Amino acid sequence: MTLTYSTDIVIFGGGIAGLWLLNRLRSEGYAAILLESDSLGGGQTIASQGIIHGGLKYALSGSITGAASAIADMPARWRNCLQGNGDIDLSECRLLSQDYYMWSNAGIRSKLITFLGSKGLRGRVEVVAKTDYPDFFRQATVAGILYRLPDFVVDTESLLHVLVKNQGGHIFKIDSGAIEFDHDDAGNIDTVIIQQQDQRLQISVQRSIFCAGEGNQALADQAKLDRTKSQTRPLKMVYLKKRELPPVYVHCIGDSFSLTPKLTVTSHTDADGSTVWYLGGELAEAGVKRSDDQQIEAAMKLCDELFPWVDLIGARWQCFTINRAEANVDNDYRPDDACFIEQNNVVVAWPTKFTLTPSLVDKLIDHLAANAVTPLQQSNTNKLSSVLDQPKFATTHWD
């Protein structure tokens, strides 16, 4: 049996980019639906550390570029949303930490202060007085300097729930093998076809937008888009769990300033109430060349060296590999801004960073308006709900 449906926009992928976009498009009056082939957030989003960056990492790489300035505006933009005053109401999203810190070896204090000043970050990155140290660093038994960054940390699971809360009737689970694209004579995709058991769904669209992270390339190939160039960068992330572990949110930087901090730690709570330290940064980038055992050994050594005052005996350690998915805009270099590529009436989009999602979505909405894509269809999805299920939410790697 064939069922037909018309919508303005169909989004593929229910990570942060697709979900944020769905919220914004619908509030702009577009009829939009989102199709997810696995679980909501189950790609990079749930694996992310949830740090809303203010640009320090970019500045560490050299000069403050346009993109670094764009990211510098993001914490304020997110904070507005978290207070219920932004373009999306995130007031029910849980914050894991209002502050994010940078910890450096005391030996490089003056070098670092000069460096931060030269990068125009003075005023945004402040040295924390010892009397104001958070509990974790009050216990420190090694000399170091603590800086407070404009960054903060959101709980990605709760963010996903908030982004889905008012959109449930517009999000559907599909089998990625069940999609076909029908092109018109100009090469535009006018119909997305989904074969669901004995039902054939034909969805007419003005625009298709791929926000499928690592899945973007396969979708682009399927849609015969030859201009999409993507890349993946693997990371071997480590987490450790222990009940009485104190929470900490910090980049630890080494003696040499580099794009990636030596270690980036965020703290979470697992389903049993144990604290989870989630470890990224240079450890995760370099870790892809190590076996799991070697990576855990490297992580243990680094934590002992950086936080010798913390008792990690009895902690349970694990690691896993996950790819960052990005546009390949500059011959395999790391892009530093959100980015999209349009070919015919299909847009392929990457936020590059969780943090930059609001900026990506602004660009997409401006682009639609500039190309005369206006709301035309009604938003009644009852027909689709009778055939397609809702996808489940992803669970964190430690649960």
Ligand X SMILES: Cc1cc2nc3c(=O)[nH]c(=O)nc-3n(C[C@H](O)[C@H](O)[C@H](O)COP(=O)(O)OP(=O)(O)OC[C@H]3O[C@@H](n4cnc5c(N)ncnc54)[C@H](O)[C@@H]3O)c2cc1C
Smallest distance from the beta carbon of 82 to ligand X, in angstroms?
15
Q: Is 237 one of the binding residues for ligand X (CB under 6 A)?
A: yes
Q: Is 176 one of the binding residues for ligand X (CB under 6 A)?
A: yes
One-letter identity of residue 291 = S
Within 101-140, the residues that bind ligand X by CB under 6 A are none
Cβ proximity to ligand X, 244 vs 247, nearer residue = 247
What is the phi/psi pair of residue 298, to 5°?
-65, -40
Within 189-228, the residues that bind ligand X by CB under 6 A are 211-213, 215, 219
Smallest distance from the beta carbon of 370 to ligand X, in angstroms?
22
Within 266-325, the residues that bind ligand X by CB under 6 A are 280, 322, 324-325
Within 338-367, the residues that bind ligand X by CB under 6 A are 350-355
End-to-end CA distance of the chain: 40
Q: Tell me which stretch binds ligand X (CB under 6 A): 10-18, 121-129, 223-231, 292-300.
A: 10-18
Number of residues that bind ligand X (CB under 6 A): 39
One-letter identity of residue 338 = A
Q: Is 231 one of the binding residues for ligand X (CB under 6 A)?
A: no
Q: Is 12 one of the binding residues for ligand X (CB under 6 A)?
A: yes
Tokens 């997810």 sit at which residue?
36
Within 240-269, the residues that bind ligand X by CB under 6 A are none
Cβ proximity to ligand X, 66 vs 177, nearer residue = 177
Cβ proximity to ligand X, 19 vs 112, nearer residue = 19
Q: Is 388 one of the binding residues for ligand X (CB under 6 A)?
A: no
Q: How far apart are CA 363 and CA 51, in angstroms?
A: 22
Q: Is 51 one of the binding residues for ligand X (CB under 6 A)?
A: yes
Cite the beta strand spans of the chain per DSSP E: 2-12, 32-36, 51-52, 95-97, 100-105, 126-127, 144-149, 152-154, 171-173, 179-183, 189-196, 199-210, 230-242, 250-253, 263-269, 275-280, 316-327, 339-343, 346-350
DSSP H helical segments within the chain, as ranges? 16-27, 44-47, 56-60, 66-72, 74-82, 109-118, 135-138, 156-165, 216-222, 282-286, 292-306, 357-370, 382-385
Q: How far apart are CA 229 and CA 331, in angstroms?
A: 10
- For binding to ligand X (CB under 6 A), which residues are involved? 12-18, 35-38, 42-45, 47-51, 53, 176, 211-213, 215, 219, 235, 237, 280, 322, 324-325, 350-355
